[in-house]
Structure 1
Amino acid sequence: MRVAIAGGTGLMGGLVVDEAEARGHEVVVLARSRGIDLTTGSGLDAALRGTQAVVDVTNVGTMKASISTEFFETTTRVLLAGEERAGLERHVTLSIVGVDRAPFDYYAGKRAQELVIESAPAPWTILRATQFHEFAGQVYATAAAGPLHLAPKMRTQPIAAREVASRLVDLAESPARRGYVELAGPREESLVDMVRRWARACGHRGWIPAVPLPGPLGKAQRDGTLLAGDGAEIGSETFDDWLRRTTG
Protein backbone atom coordinates (compact mmCIF):
# COMPACT_ATOMS: atom_id res chain seq x y z
CA MET A 1 0.00 0.00 0.00
CA ARG A 2 1.16 3.52 -0.72
CA VAL A 3 0.83 5.68 2.40
CA ALA A 4 1.39 9.43 2.65
CA ILE A 5 2.71 10.76 5.97
CA ALA A 6 1.94 14.44 6.53
CA GLY A 7 4.58 15.83 8.85
CA GLY A 8 6.79 12.83 8.23
CA THR A 9 10.04 14.62 9.06
CA GLY A 10 9.18 15.31 12.74
CA LEU A 11 9.62 13.10 15.80
CA MET A 12 6.34 11.26 15.43
CA GLY A 13 6.41 11.43 11.65
CA GLY A 14 9.78 9.73 11.50
CA LEU A 15 8.52 6.90 13.71
CA VAL A 16 5.40 6.46 11.54
CA VAL A 17 7.54 6.39 8.39
CA ASP A 18 9.83 3.76 9.92
CA GLU A 19 6.88 1.63 11.06
CA ALA A 20 5.09 1.81 7.72
CA GLU A 21 8.23 0.94 5.77
CA ALA A 22 9.00 -1.94 8.16
CA ARG A 23 5.59 -3.38 7.26
CA GLY A 24 6.41 -3.19 3.56
CA HIS A 25 4.38 -0.12 2.62
CA GLU A 26 5.52 2.44 0.08
CA VAL A 27 5.80 5.77 1.90
CA VAL A 28 5.65 9.32 0.60
CA VAL A 29 6.46 12.13 3.03
CA LEU A 30 4.39 15.30 2.82
CA ALA A 31 6.60 18.14 4.03
CA ARG A 32 7.98 21.42 2.74
CA SER A 33 11.45 19.92 2.66
CA ARG A 34 10.10 17.36 0.19
CA GLY A 35 8.44 19.99 -2.01
CA ILE A 36 4.90 19.75 -0.61
CA ASP A 37 3.40 22.79 1.12
CA LEU A 38 0.29 21.89 3.10
CA THR A 39 -0.61 25.53 3.71
CA THR A 40 -1.02 26.18 -0.04
CA GLY A 41 -1.37 22.70 -1.56
CA SER A 42 1.69 23.15 -3.75
CA GLY A 43 2.97 19.73 -4.85
CA LEU A 44 0.21 17.87 -3.04
CA ASP A 45 -1.73 16.42 -5.98
CA ALA A 46 1.36 14.80 -7.49
CA ALA A 47 2.41 13.38 -4.11
CA LEU A 48 -1.00 11.82 -3.46
CA ARG A 49 -1.31 10.16 -6.86
CA GLY A 50 -1.70 6.42 -6.34
CA THR A 51 -1.93 6.74 -2.56
CA GLN A 52 -4.48 4.75 -0.56
CA ALA A 53 -4.15 6.36 2.89
CA VAL A 54 -2.86 9.48 4.63
CA VAL A 55 -1.56 9.68 8.18
CA ASP A 56 -1.48 13.28 9.41
CA VAL A 57 0.96 14.01 12.24
CA THR A 58 1.70 17.62 11.32
CA ASN A 59 2.59 19.96 14.15
CA VAL A 60 3.23 23.63 14.85
CA GLY A 61 5.47 25.02 17.55
CA THR A 62 3.22 27.42 19.42
CA MET A 63 1.03 27.64 22.50
CA LYS A 64 -1.11 30.45 21.06
CA ALA A 65 -4.67 29.37 20.26
CA SER A 66 -4.98 31.71 17.26
CA ILE A 67 -1.80 30.48 15.56
CA SER A 68 -2.51 26.84 16.33
CA THR A 69 -6.08 27.08 15.06
CA GLU A 70 -5.11 28.84 11.83
CA PHE A 71 -2.38 26.29 11.11
CA PHE A 72 -4.42 23.16 11.77
CA GLU A 73 -7.59 24.38 10.06
CA THR A 74 -5.68 25.50 6.97
CA THR A 75 -3.44 22.47 6.54
CA THR A 76 -6.24 20.01 7.28
CA ARG A 77 -8.62 21.57 4.75
CA VAL A 78 -5.88 21.64 2.10
CA LEU A 79 -4.97 18.02 2.81
CA LEU A 80 -8.56 16.77 2.81
CA ALA A 81 -9.31 18.57 -0.46
CA GLY A 82 -6.27 16.93 -2.06
CA GLU A 83 -7.35 13.53 -0.76
CA GLU A 84 -10.83 13.99 -2.22
CA ARG A 85 -9.37 14.83 -5.63
CA ALA A 86 -7.13 11.75 -5.41
CA GLY A 87 -9.96 9.47 -4.26
CA LEU A 88 -8.17 8.28 -1.14
CA GLU A 89 -9.65 5.46 0.92
CA ARG A 90 -8.89 6.73 4.43
CA HIS A 91 -7.53 9.62 6.45
CA VAL A 92 -5.92 9.07 9.87
CA THR A 93 -5.02 11.98 12.15
CA LEU A 94 -3.17 12.09 15.44
CA SER A 95 -4.83 14.22 18.12
CA ILE A 96 -4.64 14.50 21.90
CA VAL A 97 -6.76 13.00 24.66
CA GLY A 98 -8.86 15.72 26.28
CA VAL A 99 -8.83 18.40 23.57
CA ASP A 100 -12.63 18.37 23.50
CA ARG A 101 -12.74 18.98 27.26
CA ALA A 102 -9.95 21.56 27.36
CA PRO A 103 -9.85 23.39 23.99
CA PHE A 104 -7.37 26.02 25.13
CA ASP A 105 -4.06 27.39 23.85
CA TYR A 106 -2.37 24.85 21.52
CA TYR A 107 -5.20 22.40 22.19
CA ALA A 108 -7.65 24.84 20.59
CA GLY A 109 -6.02 24.19 17.25
CA LYS A 110 -6.14 20.43 17.65
CA ARG A 111 -9.84 20.58 18.50
CA ALA A 112 -10.45 22.83 15.49
CA GLN A 113 -8.65 20.25 13.36
CA GLU A 114 -10.93 17.51 14.67
CA LEU A 115 -14.03 19.53 13.81
CA VAL A 116 -12.81 20.13 10.25
CA ILE A 117 -12.28 16.39 9.81
CA GLU A 118 -15.66 15.51 11.33
CA SER A 119 -17.45 17.68 8.76
CA ALA A 120 -15.50 16.35 5.77
CA PRO A 121 -16.78 13.63 3.41
CA ALA A 122 -13.47 11.77 3.66
CA PRO A 123 -13.43 8.37 5.41
CA TRP A 124 -11.54 9.26 8.59
CA THR A 125 -10.26 7.98 11.91
CA ILE A 126 -8.78 10.16 14.67
CA LEU A 127 -6.39 8.67 17.20
CA ARG A 128 -6.33 10.65 20.43
CA ALA A 129 -3.20 9.82 22.41
CA THR A 130 -1.96 10.97 25.79
CA GLN A 131 1.40 12.71 26.19
CA PHE A 132 4.43 10.72 25.10
CA HIS A 133 7.13 9.52 27.49
CA GLU A 134 9.43 11.71 25.36
CA PHE A 135 7.55 14.76 26.68
CA ALA A 136 9.65 14.66 29.86
CA GLY A 137 12.84 15.45 27.98
CA GLN A 138 11.13 18.13 25.90
CA VAL A 139 9.85 19.86 29.04
CA TYR A 140 13.26 19.66 30.67
CA ALA A 141 14.81 21.37 27.65
CA THR A 142 12.22 24.12 27.21
CA ALA A 143 10.67 24.88 30.61
CA ALA A 144 13.34 27.02 32.23
CA ALA A 145 13.86 30.25 34.13
CA GLY A 146 17.42 31.27 33.42
CA PRO A 147 19.66 28.35 34.41
CA LEU A 148 16.86 26.75 36.44
CA HIS A 149 14.82 23.90 34.94
CA LEU A 150 11.13 23.77 35.86
CA ALA A 151 8.61 20.92 36.01
CA PRO A 152 4.97 21.84 35.30
CA LYS A 153 2.40 20.13 37.49
CA MET A 154 0.37 17.70 35.42
CA ARG A 155 -1.43 14.40 35.83
CA THR A 156 -0.80 12.27 32.77
CA GLN A 157 -0.89 8.68 31.55
CA PRO A 158 2.07 8.77 29.18
CA ILE A 159 2.78 6.38 26.35
CA ALA A 160 5.83 5.60 24.23
CA ALA A 161 5.77 7.48 20.93
CA ARG A 162 6.70 4.33 19.03
CA GLU A 163 3.53 2.61 20.29
CA VAL A 164 1.48 5.55 19.01
CA ALA A 165 3.22 5.32 15.64
CA SER A 166 2.42 1.61 15.44
CA ARG A 167 -1.25 2.23 16.19
CA LEU A 168 -1.44 4.96 13.56
CA VAL A 169 -0.18 2.53 10.92
CA ASP A 170 -2.68 -0.08 12.15
CA LEU A 171 -5.49 2.42 11.54
CA ALA A 172 -4.12 3.36 8.12
CA GLU A 173 -4.29 -0.32 7.17
CA SER A 174 -7.88 -0.68 8.41
CA PRO A 175 -11.26 0.59 7.15
CA ALA A 176 -12.01 4.11 8.34
CA ARG A 177 -14.18 4.35 11.45
CA ARG A 178 -15.49 7.91 11.11
CA GLY A 179 -14.82 8.08 14.84
CA TYR A 180 -12.25 8.30 17.58
CA VAL A 181 -9.79 5.89 19.18
CA GLU A 182 -8.16 6.76 22.53
CA LEU A 183 -4.71 5.44 23.42
CA ALA A 184 -2.92 5.86 26.75
CA GLY A 185 0.02 4.45 28.62
CA PRO A 186 -0.20 1.67 31.20
CA ARG A 187 -0.38 3.90 34.28
CA GLU A 188 -0.84 7.44 35.52
CA GLU A 189 2.30 9.45 36.24
CA SER A 190 3.17 12.88 37.59
CA LEU A 191 4.88 15.03 34.96
CA VAL A 192 6.95 16.61 37.72
CA ASP A 193 8.27 13.20 38.69
CA MET A 194 8.85 12.26 35.05
CA VAL A 195 10.93 15.36 34.37
CA ARG A 196 12.99 14.87 37.51
CA ARG A 197 13.63 11.20 36.78
CA TRP A 198 14.60 11.94 33.19
CA ALA A 199 16.99 14.66 34.34
CA ARG A 200 18.61 12.39 36.93
CA ALA A 201 19.03 9.64 34.35
CA CYS A 202 20.84 12.16 32.13
CA GLY A 203 23.17 13.28 34.92
CA HIS A 204 21.44 16.44 36.18
CA ARG A 205 21.69 16.83 39.95
CA GLY A 206 20.23 20.30 40.43
CA TRP A 207 16.90 21.31 41.97
CA ILE A 208 13.90 21.13 39.62
CA PRO A 209 10.96 22.96 41.22
CA ALA A 210 7.35 22.02 40.48
CA VAL A 211 5.24 24.86 39.10
CA PRO A 212 1.50 25.09 38.35
CA LEU A 213 0.88 26.54 34.90
CA PRO A 214 -1.64 29.41 34.77
CA GLY A 215 -4.92 29.54 32.90
CA PRO A 216 -7.59 26.99 32.05
CA LEU A 217 -5.19 24.60 30.31
CA GLY A 218 -2.92 24.57 33.34
CA LYS A 219 -5.91 23.76 35.53
CA ALA A 220 -6.95 20.95 33.16
CA GLN A 221 -3.44 19.51 33.36
CA ARG A 222 -3.61 19.39 37.15
CA ASP A 223 -7.18 18.18 37.72
CA GLY A 224 -7.13 15.07 35.53
CA THR A 225 -9.17 16.48 32.64
CA LEU A 226 -6.52 15.26 30.21
CA LEU A 227 -6.48 11.67 31.43
CA ALA A 228 -7.91 8.96 29.19
CA GLY A 229 -11.41 7.58 29.69
CA ASP A 230 -12.43 4.07 30.68
CA GLY A 231 -12.69 2.88 27.08
CA ALA A 232 -9.16 3.82 26.09
CA GLU A 233 -6.74 1.33 24.60
CA ILE A 234 -3.74 0.84 26.88
CA GLY A 235 -0.12 0.59 25.76
CA SER A 236 2.48 -1.71 27.30
CA GLU A 237 5.69 0.26 27.91
CA THR A 238 5.81 2.12 31.23
CA PHE A 239 7.76 5.32 31.71
CA ASP A 240 10.33 3.40 33.80
CA ASP A 241 10.78 0.86 31.01
CA TRP A 242 11.12 3.61 28.43
CA LEU A 243 13.61 5.50 30.60
CA ARG A 244 15.80 2.40 30.92
CA ARG A 245 15.59 1.76 27.18
CA THR A 246 16.48 5.28 26.12
CA THR A 247 18.96 6.42 28.79
CA GLY A 248 20.37 3.21 30.22
Structure 2
Amino acid sequence: MRIAVAGASGNIGARVVAVLERDGHEVVRISRSHGIDLLKEDGIGDALSGVDAVVDTLNGPAVDPMEAITWFTTSTRNLLAAEERAGVRHHVLLSIACLYRVGGNAHYAAKRAQEQAVIEGPIPWTIVPATQFHDFAAMVADRTERDGAATLAPLLLQPIAPGDVAEVLAEIALGTPQGRYADLAGPEPQDMVDMARRTHQAQGRTVKLIPTWDGAFSTEMAGKVMLPDPGNVRIAPTTFDQWLAELE
Protein backbone atom coordinates (compact mmCIF):
# COMPACT_ATOMS: atom_id res chain seq x y z
CA MET A 1 0.00 0.00 0.00
CA ARG A 2 0.92 3.67 -0.38
CA ILE A 3 0.56 5.34 3.02
CA ALA A 4 1.31 8.90 4.10
CA VAL A 5 2.60 9.71 7.57
CA ALA A 6 1.98 13.23 8.88
CA GLY A 7 4.59 14.21 11.43
CA ALA A 8 7.02 11.82 9.75
CA SER A 9 10.05 13.38 11.41
CA GLY A 10 8.66 13.13 14.95
CA ASN A 11 9.07 10.64 17.78
CA ILE A 12 6.21 8.38 16.67
CA GLY A 13 5.94 9.35 13.02
CA ALA A 14 9.51 8.33 12.21
CA ARG A 15 8.87 4.96 13.85
CA VAL A 16 5.65 4.45 11.84
CA VAL A 17 7.59 5.19 8.66
CA ALA A 18 10.21 2.59 9.63
CA VAL A 19 7.59 -0.08 10.40
CA LEU A 20 5.71 0.47 7.15
CA GLU A 21 8.87 0.43 5.04
CA ARG A 22 10.11 -2.66 6.89
CA ASP A 23 6.92 -4.41 5.79
CA GLY A 24 7.29 -3.37 2.16
CA HIS A 25 4.89 -0.44 1.92
CA GLU A 26 5.49 2.81 0.06
CA VAL A 27 5.55 5.78 2.46
CA VAL A 28 4.94 9.45 1.78
CA ARG A 29 6.58 11.61 4.45
CA ILE A 30 4.65 14.73 5.50
CA SER A 31 6.45 17.26 7.67
CA ARG A 32 8.00 20.71 7.42
CA SER A 33 11.42 19.09 7.20
CA HIS A 34 10.16 17.35 4.05
CA GLY A 35 8.92 20.60 2.56
CA ILE A 36 5.23 20.30 3.48
CA ASP A 37 3.52 22.91 5.67
CA LEU A 38 0.03 21.84 6.70
CA LEU A 39 -0.75 25.28 8.13
CA LYS A 40 -1.05 26.49 4.53
CA GLU A 41 -4.12 25.48 2.52
CA ASP A 42 -1.99 24.56 -0.48
CA GLY A 43 0.94 23.33 1.59
CA ILE A 44 0.52 19.67 0.76
CA GLY A 45 0.24 20.01 -3.02
CA ASP A 46 0.05 16.67 -4.83
CA ALA A 47 1.87 14.68 -2.14
CA LEU A 48 -1.15 12.48 -1.44
CA SER A 49 -1.62 11.32 -5.02
CA GLY A 50 -2.33 7.58 -4.99
CA VAL A 51 -2.25 7.37 -1.18
CA ASP A 52 -4.57 4.78 0.39
CA ALA A 53 -4.36 5.89 4.04
CA VAL A 54 -2.90 8.69 6.15
CA VAL A 55 -1.47 8.24 9.65
CA ASP A 56 -1.55 11.54 11.56
CA THR A 57 1.04 11.75 14.33
CA LEU A 58 1.38 15.55 14.24
CA ASN A 59 2.37 17.42 17.38
CA GLY A 60 2.27 21.15 17.98
CA PRO A 61 2.38 23.97 20.54
CA ALA A 62 0.83 23.22 23.92
CA VAL A 63 1.15 26.31 26.13
CA ASP A 64 -1.53 28.75 25.01
CA PRO A 65 -4.93 27.00 24.57
CA MET A 66 -6.15 29.08 21.62
CA GLU A 67 -2.81 28.87 19.82
CA ALA A 68 -2.76 25.10 20.30
CA ILE A 69 -6.37 24.65 19.15
CA THR A 70 -5.81 26.81 16.07
CA TRP A 71 -2.63 24.94 15.16
CA PHE A 72 -4.14 21.47 15.46
CA THR A 73 -7.47 22.22 13.79
CA THR A 74 -5.96 24.19 10.91
CA SER A 75 -3.36 21.50 10.17
CA THR A 76 -5.92 18.72 10.42
CA ARG A 77 -8.57 20.37 8.25
CA ASN A 78 -6.02 21.21 5.58
CA LEU A 79 -4.79 17.62 5.65
CA LEU A 80 -8.32 16.21 5.44
CA ALA A 81 -9.19 18.51 2.54
CA ALA A 82 -6.12 17.33 0.65
CA GLU A 83 -7.05 13.71 1.41
CA GLU A 84 -10.53 14.27 -0.03
CA ARG A 85 -9.07 15.72 -3.24
CA ALA A 86 -6.72 12.75 -3.54
CA GLY A 87 -9.34 10.08 -2.80
CA VAL A 88 -7.72 8.81 0.42
CA ARG A 89 -9.90 6.14 2.04
CA HIS A 90 -8.71 6.06 5.67
CA HIS A 91 -7.47 8.68 8.15
CA VAL A 92 -5.76 7.30 11.27
CA LEU A 93 -5.29 9.81 14.10
CA LEU A 94 -3.00 9.23 17.06
CA SER A 95 -4.72 10.80 20.08
CA ILE A 96 -4.50 10.61 23.88
CA ALA A 97 -6.19 8.16 26.25
CA CYS A 98 -8.36 9.73 28.99
CA LEU A 99 -8.60 12.91 26.89
CA TYR A 100 -12.11 13.77 28.06
CA ARG A 101 -11.37 13.42 31.78
CA VAL A 102 -9.12 16.49 31.88
CA GLY A 103 -10.48 19.98 31.28
CA GLY A 104 -7.85 22.66 31.80
CA ASN A 105 -4.77 21.36 29.96
CA ALA A 106 -4.07 23.33 26.73
CA HIS A 107 -2.72 20.31 24.82
CA TYR A 108 -5.72 18.19 25.76
CA ALA A 109 -8.13 20.94 24.67
CA ALA A 110 -6.36 21.11 21.31
CA LYS A 111 -6.43 17.33 20.84
CA ARG A 112 -10.16 17.27 21.58
CA ALA A 113 -10.69 19.92 18.92
CA GLN A 114 -8.53 17.94 16.52
CA GLU A 115 -10.55 14.78 17.16
CA GLN A 116 -13.76 16.69 16.43
CA ALA A 117 -12.32 17.95 13.15
CA VAL A 118 -11.58 14.36 12.14
CA ILE A 119 -15.02 13.10 13.22
CA GLU A 120 -16.75 15.87 11.27
CA GLY A 121 -14.40 15.59 8.30
CA PRO A 122 -14.92 13.94 4.91
CA ILE A 123 -12.61 10.91 5.36
CA PRO A 124 -13.53 7.62 7.10
CA TRP A 125 -11.44 7.49 10.26
CA THR A 126 -9.90 5.59 13.14
CA ILE A 127 -8.88 7.49 16.28
CA VAL A 128 -6.28 5.67 18.38
CA PRO A 129 -6.09 7.03 21.98
CA ALA A 130 -2.74 6.08 23.51
CA THR A 131 -1.39 6.60 27.01
CA GLN A 132 1.82 8.57 27.60
CA PHE A 133 5.01 7.13 26.14
CA HIS A 134 7.83 5.56 28.14
CA ASP A 135 10.05 8.59 27.40
CA PHE A 136 7.37 11.08 28.54
CA ALA A 137 8.56 11.54 32.13
CA ALA A 138 12.13 12.35 31.20
CA MET A 139 10.91 14.68 28.45
CA VAL A 140 8.81 16.65 30.97
CA ALA A 141 11.74 16.80 33.38
CA ASP A 142 14.04 18.03 30.61
CA ARG A 143 11.65 20.88 29.84
CA THR A 144 11.54 22.07 33.44
CA GLU A 145 15.18 21.45 34.42
CA ARG A 146 17.05 24.44 35.78
CA ASP A 147 20.49 24.24 37.43
CA GLY A 148 20.31 20.48 37.85
CA ALA A 149 16.78 20.34 39.31
CA ALA A 150 13.47 19.61 37.57
CA THR A 151 9.84 19.85 38.65
CA LEU A 152 7.18 17.39 37.54
CA ALA A 153 3.81 16.18 38.76
CA PRO A 154 3.45 12.85 40.61
CA LEU A 155 1.14 11.42 37.97
CA LEU A 156 0.07 7.78 37.94
CA LEU A 157 0.44 6.62 34.33
CA GLN A 158 0.31 3.38 32.37
CA PRO A 159 2.97 4.25 29.80
CA ILE A 160 3.58 2.59 26.47
CA ALA A 161 6.72 2.10 24.38
CA PRO A 162 6.87 4.41 21.33
CA GLY A 163 7.79 1.44 19.17
CA ASP A 164 4.63 -0.40 20.22
CA VAL A 165 2.51 2.64 19.30
CA ALA A 166 4.10 2.71 15.85
CA GLU A 167 3.41 -0.99 15.28
CA VAL A 168 -0.29 -0.58 16.13
CA LEU A 169 -0.73 2.56 14.01
CA ALA A 170 0.83 0.82 11.02
CA GLU A 171 -1.39 -2.21 11.56
CA ILE A 172 -4.54 -0.08 11.74
CA ALA A 173 -3.59 1.95 8.65
CA LEU A 174 -3.55 -1.25 6.60
CA GLY A 175 -7.12 -2.11 7.62
CA THR A 176 -10.55 -0.55 7.34
CA PRO A 177 -11.74 2.47 9.39
CA GLN A 178 -12.85 1.48 12.90
CA GLY A 179 -14.07 4.72 14.50
CA ARG A 180 -12.77 5.22 18.03
CA TYR A 181 -10.29 2.47 18.86
CA ALA A 182 -9.68 0.99 22.31
CA ASP A 183 -7.28 2.77 24.65
CA LEU A 184 -3.72 1.72 23.79
CA ALA A 185 -1.53 1.29 26.88
CA GLY A 186 1.55 -0.42 28.27
CA PRO A 187 1.48 -3.43 30.59
CA GLU A 188 1.62 -1.72 33.99
CA PRO A 189 1.10 1.55 35.92
CA GLN A 190 4.09 3.70 36.83
CA ASP A 191 4.72 6.82 38.91
CA MET A 192 5.95 9.63 36.63
CA VAL A 193 8.55 10.95 39.09
CA ASP A 194 10.01 7.46 39.46
CA MET A 195 9.95 7.01 35.68
CA ALA A 196 12.02 10.16 35.24
CA ARG A 197 14.46 9.11 37.97
CA ARG A 198 15.00 5.68 36.45
CA THR A 199 15.33 7.06 32.92
CA HIS A 200 17.97 9.53 34.07
CA GLN A 201 19.77 6.73 35.88
CA ALA A 202 19.79 4.62 32.69
CA GLN A 203 21.15 7.63 30.78
CA GLY A 204 23.87 8.18 33.37
CA ARG A 205 22.43 11.54 34.42
CA THR A 206 21.82 13.04 37.86
CA VAL A 207 18.87 15.42 38.15
CA LYS A 208 17.17 16.45 41.36
CA LEU A 209 13.43 15.79 40.88
CA ILE A 210 10.90 17.93 42.73
CA PRO A 211 7.32 16.57 42.74
CA THR A 212 4.76 19.37 42.43
CA TRP A 213 1.35 20.15 40.97
CA ASP A 214 2.50 23.69 40.25
CA GLY A 215 2.91 23.42 36.49
CA ALA A 216 1.27 22.14 33.31
CA PHE A 217 -0.40 19.21 35.11
CA SER A 218 -3.10 19.94 37.68
CA THR A 219 -4.57 17.88 40.49
CA GLU A 220 -7.50 16.97 38.24
CA MET A 221 -5.04 14.44 36.78
CA ALA A 222 -4.28 12.87 40.18
CA GLY A 223 -5.14 9.34 41.26
CA LYS A 224 -6.33 6.95 38.53
CA VAL A 225 -7.56 9.65 36.15
CA MET A 226 -4.77 9.03 33.64
CA LEU A 227 -5.11 5.24 33.58
CA PRO A 228 -6.84 3.59 30.59
CA ASP A 229 -10.36 2.25 30.64
CA PRO A 230 -9.93 -1.34 31.93
CA GLY A 231 -12.98 -2.47 29.96
CA ASN A 232 -11.74 -1.08 26.63
CA VAL A 233 -7.98 -1.32 26.42
CA ARG A 234 -5.37 -2.97 24.23
CA ILE A 235 -2.23 -3.78 26.18
CA ALA A 236 1.05 -3.48 24.28
CA PRO A 237 3.85 -5.90 25.17
CA THR A 238 6.90 -3.78 26.06
CA THR A 239 7.31 -3.02 29.77
CA PHE A 240 8.98 0.10 31.11
CA ASP A 241 11.83 -2.05 32.45
CA GLN A 242 12.41 -3.54 28.99
CA TRP A 243 12.43 -0.11 27.42
CA LEU A 244 14.90 1.15 30.03
CA ALA A 245 17.21 -1.77 29.34
CA GLU A 246 17.48 -0.64 25.72
CA LEU A 247 18.82 2.74 26.90
CA GLU A 248 21.67 1.26 28.89
Same fold (TM over 0.5): yes
Equivalent runs, 1:203-222 vs 2, <5 Å: 203-214=204-215, 217-222=217-222
Whichever residue aligns with residue 19 of structure 1, its letter is: V
The count of residues paired between Structure 1 and Structure 2 equals 246
Q: Sequence identity, in percent? A: 39
Correspondence for 2:113: 112
Deviation at 1:150, TM superposition (A): 2.5
- Tell me, in whole angstroms, the C-alpha distance in 2 between the residues paired with 1:167 and 1:41: 30
Deviation at 1:62, TM superposition (A): 2.5
Correspondence for 1:132: 133
TM-score after normalising by structure 2: 0.94
- Tell me, in whole angstroms, the C-alpha distance in 2 between the residues paired with 1:192 and 1:206: 11
Correspondence for 1:13: 13
- Tell me, in whole angstroms, the C-alpha distance in 2 between the residues paired with 1:32 and 1:107: 23
Whichever residue aligns with residue 136 of structure 1, its letter is: A
Whether the 8 Å CA contact 1:151–1:195 is kept in 2: the answer is no
- Tell me, in whole angstroms, the C-alpha distance in 1 between the residues paired with 2:151 and 2:100: 27
Whichever residue aligns with residue 64 of structure 2, its letter is: K
Whichever residue aligns with residue 110 of structure 2, its letter is: G
Distance 1:211 1:145, change over 3 A: farther
Root-mean-square deviation over aligned CA pairs: 1.6
- Tell me, in whole angstroms, the C-alpha distance in 1 between the residues paired with 2:60 and 2:151: 22
Correspondence for 1:121: 122
Gaps of 5+ in 1: none
- Tell me, in whole angstroms, the C-alpha distance in 1 between the residues paired with 2:89 and 2:11: 26
Whether the 8 Å CA contact 2:102–2:221 is kept in 1: the answer is no
- Tell me, in whole angstroms, the C-alpha distance in 2 between the residues paired with 1:199 and 1:222: 23
Whether the 8 Å CA contact 2:96–2:130 is kept in 1: the answer is yes
Deviation at 1:206, TM superposition (A): 4.9
Correspondence for 1:154: 155
Distance 1:164 1:145, change over 3 A: same
Correspondence for 2:144: 143
Which one is further off, 108-117 or 198-207? 198-207
Correspondence for 2:47: 47
Distance 1:129 1:213, change over 3 A: farther
Which one is further off, 39-48 or 201-210? 201-210
Gaps of 5+ in 2: none
Correspondence for 2:170: 169
Correspondence for 1:89: 89
Whether the 8 Å CA contact 1:182–1:233 is kept in 2: the answer is yes
TM-score after normalising by structure 1: 0.94
Which one is further off, 182-191 or 194-203? 194-203
Deviation at 1:209, TM superposition (A): 2.0
- Tell me, in whole angstroms, the C-alpha distance in 1 between the residues paired with 2:165 and 2:96: 11
Deviation at 1:204, TM superposition (A): 3.0
1:50-90 deviations in Å (ceiling 9; x for gaps): 10000000111332211110111101110111111111110
Correspondence for 1:98: 98
The SS at the match of 1:92 is strand
